[in-house]
């Protein structure tokens, strides 16, 4: 796929965010970056806990930061970047829980954001609706 300058900046923001990862237990730093319609980028990184099951993923932290800043919708694109030296270097995709968390923010604005999954030599792109088809969302509770 060809990446435009906005996408490249989003991917770079995700990579930089991973440098702040608190992941002493998995040693698996992840960075996430959300881009909104006004061009704002909000990042997150995974934050683990000595009580292992309480760790937070990078995408979830990014969504929480954005919503705590008052953002509701207008989510256009997301970049997720994992560590270069783990696994086979293939792009990592948001975990199931993060797909649901991303869907909440996206659904509030009626967008279907592009998800840029960043690997060592490849960026794989999918729409959130492809990663989470038939999503449960706020409209179900109307």
**Is residue 98 a contact point for ligand THU (CB under 6 A)?**
yes
**Is residue 94 a contact point for ligand THU (CB under 6 A)?**
yes
Least separation in angstroms between residue 38's CB and ligand THU is 25
Instruction: Sheet with 114-118: list strands edge to edge.
Output: 41-45, 31-36, 75-81, 114-118, 123-127
Both tokens of 110, joined, read 């009626």
Stretch of residues binding ligand THU (CB under 6 A), selected from 10-18, 50-58, 112-120, 128-136 = 50-58
Residue 58 CA to residue 68 CA, distance in Å, equals 15
In the structure, how many helices (H) and strands (E) does the chain have?
A: 4, 5
Least separation in angstroms between residue 9's CB and ligand THU is 21
Stretch of residues binding ligand THU (CB under 6 A), selected from 57-65, 66-74, 107-115, 120-128 = 57-65
**Is residue 119 a contact point for ligand THU (CB under 6 A)?**
no
Residue placing its CB nearer to ligand THU in the complex, 28 or 126: 28
Cβ neighbourhood burial of 17 (10 Å; 0-12, 13-18, 19+): buried
Least separation in angstroms between residue 5's CB and ligand THU is 25
Q: Can you say how many angstroms the Cα of residue 14 is from the centroid of all Cα atoms in its chain?
A: 8
Q: Which residues are near ligand THU by CB under 6 A? A: 23, 26, 28, 30, 46, 48, 55, 57-59, 94-95, 98
């Amino acid at each position: 796929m060809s990446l435009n300058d906005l996408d490249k900046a989003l991917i770079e923001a995700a990579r930089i965010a991973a440098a702040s990862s608190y992941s002493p237990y998995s040693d698996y730093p992840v960075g996430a970056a959300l881009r909104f319609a006004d061009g704002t980028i909000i990042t997150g990184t995974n934050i683990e806990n000595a009580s292992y099951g309480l760790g937070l993923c990078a995408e979830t932290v990014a969504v929480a930061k954005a919503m705590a800043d008052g953002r509701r919708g207008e989510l256009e694109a997301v970049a997720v970047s994992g560590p270069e030296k783990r696994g086979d270097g293939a792009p990592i995709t948001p975990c199931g829980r993060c797909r649901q968390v991303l869907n909440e923010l996206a659904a509030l604005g009626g967008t279907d954001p592009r998800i840029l999954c960043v690997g060592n030599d490849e960026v794989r792109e999918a729409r959130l609706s492809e990663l989470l088809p038939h999503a449960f969302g706020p409209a179900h509770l109307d």
